Amino acid sequence: MSKKCCVLILAATIVALALRLPRLAQRPMHGDEAVHAIKFGELLEDGIYEYDPDEYHGPTLNYLTLIPARIVSAEKLTEVSEFTLRIVPVFFGALLVLLLLLMVDGLGSGAAVYAAVLTAISPAMVFYSRYYIQEMLLVCFTFGVIVCGYRYTRSKNVKWVLLTGMFLGLMHATKETCIIAFGSMLLALLLMLLMRRPKSSLINAAKEIKPSHLIAGLVAGAVVSILFYSSFLTNLGGIVDSVRTYTTYFDRAGRNSLHIHPWYYYLKMLIYSRYGNGPIWTEALIVFLAVVGFIAAMTKKGLSCANVNLLRFIGFYTLVLTVVYSVIPYKTPWCMLGFLHGMILLAGVGAVVLVKLMPNVLPRLIILLLLLGGSVYLSWQSYLSNYKFYADSLNPYVYAHPTTEVFTIAEKIEEYASVHEDGYDIPIDVICSQGDYWPLPWYLRSFKKIRWSNEVDNDTASAPLIIASPDVEAALTNKLYSLTPLEERQMYLYLFDKPYYVWLRPAIKLKGFVRKDLWDRYNKGPDPEELIRKASEK
């Protein structure tokens, strides 16, 4: 690897951080992010984590978040910020770029550098590197398997097979969908070997791996996975649950109607998206160059200073992963990151091949200018998606996302709590059908007396502050003004200004109510006697 190549990949890493790090608290927490944050709070405050085979995914995100939390000396969830949480996926998003330093001889220096650039600026990669979910960790650990596995084939050093096994264990301990990547890698390896000459390459490849090394790698992976799922040997049942969980996720993959999308959902999102009068979103440059890179890997045309077997493995892996995720009815945008990263690696190869296949200087210059223009546009989209349309439905990567009016809810409750005699111990009722109130538990984590419920409870006294979905408003009104004895009734006023509701998410409204005595206390002017006293002191 030349110094120039190393410097360029490090420069791409700086670009990746520059796009990912600023204003991490600006975007409202997605419901999934808030769920993981509250789950992490249990580990942070109580030192307890138990893997749930039905929800939350694997434990690596929780345990790795302890590192930035300890750095800032946080002992309670109220001391944890969005930055503390989101810096974890930011780190692994940047690490994806750095890992290319170990792939320069396999991809070729030019391809590795351009793949680093595309990884750094891809709108989807940047957007979800700022999401407190498991996906970016899974993509990074998967690439770790590919990188270390490739390095083992070059050196036969046992340290690389141990690292490969550890990354496999980390994949398994991160998210249940790792089995899709496992299967895709295995099939890609078989297809790559079948294309090698002579035909006995499968047998020869098997002979190249020392049995002791293979066993060591598998043991390393098993140890890593077991440690995480067993909560570092404090919950051995988590090991069994890590296998039992697949019955839940196989069922969810085909039945969850909220996330059922057509087979072309991911490809359409990458190639062309535009909603209303919003900007045009496209990562078609990456898709096109990936196709070129795939063809080059299969035909060997335009390749030099690259490992054809590695390129074919990446090509088959990306193709299989794309097909599988397209066929599965259950789709969320971040699930495409695995095969998008594979496309980016192939796109780096495709860009170099296009330039090399041009017959003379002028066509090469045109291709280079087009690549530069496309890269600039990708960077511009990354800026727009993360710093302008970060919570706007005009952004295709914004999916079932809370609006910025979540901040309004938190601010209003904070203001009224400041004038209540109990402060943050003020009773609050949050009543939303089907428990559809996330990410409010994150934003209201400082309040200790919140009752979260799916329906109106007529057997409990109403809190001075109430947040409710419109579909329970009739039952709530009945409780406040019909079921409550006349002498105990309290008048409630709207918490929010006209139109008296806020949008939790598009199509999901919330209404707020505040008891009149608290409203009066909040809205009354300054105490005249207090003003006179302060004036006399001056």
Nearest to 390 by CA among 84, 12, 25: 25
HSE-CB at 393 with a 13 A cutoff on CA atoms is 11
Instruction: Over range 189-198, report the average pLDDT.
Output: 84
- Closest alpha carbon to 391 in 506, 533, 255: 506
Q: Where are the domains of the chain?
A: 3-387, 405-523
Question: Is residue 438 scored above 80 in pLDDT?
Answer: yes
pLDDT, residue 506, reads 87
More confident residue, 83 or 207: 83
Summarised one tens digit per residue, pLDDT across range 470-526 is 999 999 999 998 887 887 788 999 999 988 999 999 889 999 999 999 999 998 855
Q: What is the DSSP letter of 418?
A: T
345 falls in which pLDDT band (50, 70, 90)? very high
H-helix segments, 265-333: 265-271, 284-299, 308-327
Torsion angle of C-alpha atoms 158, 159, 165, 169, degrees rounded to 10: 160
Position 229 scores a pLDDT of 96
> DSSP secondary structure string, 26-41?
TSPPPHHHHHHHHHHH
Which pLDDT belongs to residue 302? 83
pLDDT at 204 over 80: no
In the chain, the amino acid numbered 526 is P
Q: How far apart are CA 397 and CA 391, in angstroms?
A: 9
pLDDT digits 0-9 by tens, 84-140:
999 999 999 999 999 999 999 999 999 999 999 999 999 999 999 999 999 999 999
Side-chain-facing half-sphere of 218: CA atoms under 13 Å: 7
Write the DSSP symbol of residue 181: H
246 falls in which pLDDT band (50, 70, 90)? Answer: confident
SS3 content of the chain, % helix, strand, coil (to 5): 65, 5, 30
DSSP bridge pairs for 260: 330
State residue 54's pLDDT score. 84
Question: Over 70: is that where the pLDDT of 527 sits?
Answer: no
How many percent of the chain have pLDDT more than 70?
Answer: 94
Question: What's the rounded Cα separation, in Å, for the pair 342 and 180?
Answer: 14
Calpha distance 276→330 (Å, rounded):
25
pLDDT in the model for residue 328: 93
325-336 pLDDT per residue, tens? 999 999 999 999
16-38: pLDDT as tens digits: 999 999 999 999 999 999 999 99
196 pLDDT band, cuts 50/70/90, is confident
Q: Residue 326: exposed, middle, or buried by beta-carbon count in 10 A (0-12, 13-18, 19+)? A: middle
The DSSP secondary structure of 68-125, one letter per residue, reads: HHHHTT--SGGG--HHHHHHHHHHHHHHHHHGGGGSHHHH-HHHHHHHHHHHHH-HHH
Angle, helix 60-71 to helix 135-155, in steps of 10 degrees: 100
Where residue 535 falls among pLDDT bands split at 50, 70, 90?
low
Q: Is the pTM for the entire model greater than 0.75?
A: yes
Average pLDDT value for residue range 186-197: 89
pLDDT of 534 above 60: no
Q: With both helix axes pointing from N to C terminus, report the angle between 201-208 and 178-195 in degrees, rounded to the nearest 10.
A: 120
Report how far apart the first and last C-alpha atoms of the chain are (Å, whole number).
Answer: 72
| 197 CB-contact burial (10 Å; exposed 0-12 / middle 13-18 / buried 19+) | exposed
Mean pLDDT of the chain: 92
pLDDT surpasses 60 at 192: yes
Predicted pLDDT at 102: 96
Model confidence at 279: pLDDT above 80: yes
Residues 6+ away with beta carbon under 8 Å from 102: 147, 148, 150, 151
Mean pLDDT of 256-271: 89
d(CA 2, CA 119): 20
Cα distance between residue 107 and residue 311, in whole Å: 7
Residue 65: what pLDDT?
A: 98
Alpha carbon 198 to its chain centroid, in Å, reads: 43
